[in-house]
Structure 1
Amino acid sequence: MSGTQPSAIRSTFTRWLRDRSFLSGLTALLILMAVLGTVMRHNYLLFHLCAELFAVAVAMTIFTIAWNTRDTNQSPFLAFVGLSMPGIALLDLLHAIAFPGMNVIGEAGANQSTQLWIAARGLQAAVFLAAPLLTEKRLRTGDVLLIQAAVVACTLLSIFTFDIMPDSFVPDVGLTPFKVSAEYAFSTAAVVACLLLCRKRRQFEPKVFGLTFAGIALLAPQELIFTLYTDPHGAMNALGHFIKILSFYLLYRAIIVTALQNPYDLAFYRMRRSEEALRDHLSGLESLIATRTAELRESEARWRALLECSNDWFWETDERGRFTALSPRAQESTGRGGAELLGFTHADLLDRNRPEEDFPALTEALHRREPFRRLSFPLASPGGSGRWVMVSGTPRYDGNGAFLGYRGTTSDISARRQSAEAARQKQTMAALGSLVGGLAHEINNLLQPVISLSDLARGRAGEDRKLHTYLNAIHDSGVKARTIMRDVLQFARVEVAESPPGNLEEAVHSALELAAPSMPASIETLARLEPGLKAVTITATELTQVLLNLIQNARDAMPQGGTLTIGARSLLLRERDASRRQLGEGDYVRLTVADTGTGMDEATRQRVFDPFFTTKPVGTGTGLGLSVVYGIVRNGGGDILVESAPGRGTSFIIDLPTALTGGPGQTTHGMLVHGEGAGR
């Protein structure tokens, strides 16, 4: 506890001035001091005896009160001080009757009297030092009396029997260094006792604390004054006794107020202080709770922001594997809000029309209640957009070890797989293009003499119809083979002449006109083209060839009829999306050819651009149509994707870079296209 503040001291003095009993007692004390002052001028011995007897009487009164109220006194501090008074009173009485001129105790003189004074003040200082440490601990009465009896006995033996106590006063010389040092020590002890008492002030009622503090504090100036006199009958000696009288009176008032007038005020005061401390503690707890709540809200907001920024979505399940909580990011992958997925399981998210991949391992881990990491499976999402997710999770248990469910994260890896698939497909097609292109070139060279010589032989066959039939079959087969080889070379892009950029709008209308005669009436064709589209890097002929191939595939995929939609719009690819798809950043035109046909499974979708791969019956297709489309698009600096699922139709998405007007085959990204191996 900190020391007494000036405001507290002022308020204490103000209460004293309003206390009539205190003022009346103080008035009586001042009158007594005035009478003693008068006596001192006429007879110092009588004054000294009266002053000491007054102190002895007050001390014994304090002891009597403390003894008789030891069971009801609520202050262990004041009870200890009161019970310690007999020893101090006895030493003061012996000091008074041993004073020079009294001639009561044999040959006792000024030295013995001063030694008794030092002993009494030493005992008093020790009591004042020990008392603040006993504000909450009560000693047994017998122990207190036994200790002071032992101290008094040792003091008297050291002075009168063994004469081992150092001299305190030498006639014609004055006070000895021992006496002066002792007085300084007692003053210091009084100051320390006041400091200790201030630390315990909350244990006292304010009025009692003020009286006690003042009574102890007066011991310091009192002992300092007793280091200044040279004559035991001098004025400085008298002043010290006046201060001693006042000190004992203040302690007497403290005991009276606590033990007699208001014996239970201290208990009630402590109860009030405890109530105030409890209120302060509750206030502190409320403040702490408010602070912790604010910190929790801040932490929650921080984690919520992190959840919002995260590319993953977070989930929790119950013990049966049903989702009980999902972060908002789940809607971006599943196409459904988090609330719609509550009660679903991971099995409900699986797209069973595509390969399951790691889903059996996920099912096994959930069954065994084991943690799992980075397991991927196809996600069933509205519209059949063909998304993939990767999940990680860990089981949850309560404090008793009961299984509660799982907590984990899900990452949408569709873009990553798409990028990896595009890279793989590009490498595969590049290798196939090199192989097939070289092979087609050689076969094309071998076909040239077959066609030429068979044509020459037909002119020399004369009238032999059977020979004409054989030679026509050879010639027609060679021509068909050369046409196939040209398609192969078109896919491989070994030999392509530079030509001006193509106009997408004109190519779409041209392709639709060319395909119209073969389109059944059950198929509705829609064209949704954004006006003002820029020219692209492939030629109008190539555009028409690409569109015709895709339109024919869409027609064949809708034997029962449906809708064919061709759309085109401008697109700006940022660096992140462009690099993922291995394209250059810049302006593109997105061409979409979508049908509502039978669709294809995942295995077919992954091989749809492979040369000579076809799902059509033998003899109805070469398997080069989509391979040629892929070759044209990639060599034009673009990219082609396919989205499909059984029963959900198919969409071919082609992104073609826009071309500059400065020259053929140059894109807005500064890339040259066309030519051997371009774009692979």
Structure 2
Amino acid sequence: MDKINRITISLAVFCGLYISSLYNYLLFHSIAEGFAVVIACSIFMLAWNSRTIVDNAYILFLGIAYLFIGVIDFLHTIGFLGMGVFQHYGANLGTQLWIGARYFESISLFIAPLIMDRELKHQRVLAVYGAFFTLFVLSIFTFDIFPVCFIEGSGLTPFKKNSEYIITLILAASIFIMHRKKDKFDPDIFKLLVASIAVTILSELAFTLYIHAYGLPNLIGHFLKIISFYLIYKAIIGTGMTKPYALLFRDLKQSEESLRTSEAKLRSLYDAMTEGVAIHDIVYDDSGRAVDYRITDINPAYEKITGIDRNNVIGKTASELYGTGTPPYFDIYEKVAESGAPAQFDTYFPPMNKHFSISAFSPDKGKFATVFEDITGHKQAEEKLNTYLNQLEKANRQLSDFAYIVSHDLREPLRALNSLANWIAKDYADTFDESGREKLRMLTGRVRRMDDLVAGIHRYSQAGRLIGNKTVIDLQKVVSEVISMLNPPGHVRISIEGTLPSVLCERASMEQILQNLIGNAIKYINRPDGRITISSAAEGNFWKTCVEDNGPGIAEKDHERIFQMFTVLQPRDKVEASGVGLAVVKKIIEMYGGKVWVESEVGKGSSFYFAIPK
């Protein structure tokens, strides 16, 4: 069943990769090469960090080699045709970096078994690889003397093809040398390494056939490369984690002195840990049934966290020590000790009135160790934070509801007052002189302005609620619809610069943002040749959109103030404005995790920008 699952997962992964290549070959290429780079760097980290405790020249040599192979493969990835990182290089750069990485890899695999019985001077090896890597990079990027590998229109050069054949021969020779030293390898690891090299050979042959960087042979070659690096991952990384003492050599031994040194280091680490550690043995009854567990060792942090002295702990059973009758978490610990599967859980332990985060693992059948930390403070802080958040949410909800109720209740008498003023103006039109009629017009204007302010308060209170489920919307289409709805006057020309992107947001809130920004631009343009331009561009992880106009402009001292509630720069008798629109825009955009700002000078127009995450 496990084999079938692995095959099913593998097929699913390769199908996904193939689909990604159809969608965007650069995406597929980056995934394939990124996988290889991660594996290469992981091999280096495993080899480098184990160099002081494992006398393994083969794995250390390959680890250093794969560090530089991974770096070159990374340069190849970002230098591949279409990535745009290295300008003016074309497809030749990626091909040159590829052939260089494969020379490094094949020669390293050839040399590694030859020096496996020798003492490796890792610093010297690192220096030699660093020197060759530097010369290789300089030959491409600085001196431009590395042979051309790919010519646009004609494909691979003879040097590239011949190099692939030479690399193939070197890889085949490395298999031959490994076979002669087969007895020094773990059988399973040997098979995986040979299989990895064999698949690499097939990959190299595939790369002699393509004439275009995105061609089918290139695709096949990268699939084979993924398989090759997966096999070497299984041989080195997988084995290094699951069976470290079977890694490459079955006769690996450490000297008595190194064992003592390692033990001292581990003991020092054990004693210095801030987490509590306890070692336990499962206790069985006469029938062989697990009934309890006994504490055999603890570290100093255990005493500090629990407040129990070491002398009162060692040798005691859990039920005796903690006075719980049933051993705490016995079902979990018994399963760990019997199956070897680790466990992790957070719990509240009433006898100590504390919260703990506990990890349990089994070093041997019938034994288990726990590593724990006191998270009582975190839990209390979390509970307090949740209480504050609930209170804040409740307060915001009440405030929003209050704003809605107030705005609703205020607008009713305002509408009545407006209707009454209109009736008076109509029924007593002949009674009022010009001064009376002007005062009546002022009254209706003030009523209408008050109604706008109350409506603005309502819009502001509801702005956050507009953001529901985000979807990808066509900003070009939304802007066009908003412009049509606003119906700009004849003296204002509105244009869209370039093609606006599709963005992830809630449609209604985006419409409100654009209505306010474009509507404001239309409202304040005071010239016969009014012009408004809308544009958008990618900026890091954000889409930055601009609404630019050639209106009167805004003084620098007001750039921040205009986004505050009820701020209107011109006298209210000259312009119909509530001063709420930009405040609503700011609130919505900030709820998206974005920002809004203005760049403007008096007499030179204004540019309103907003940026929202992609």
TM-score tier by shorter-chain length is 0.3 to 0.5
Flag the structure with larger Rg: 1
Higher relative contact order (CA 8 A, sep 6+): 1
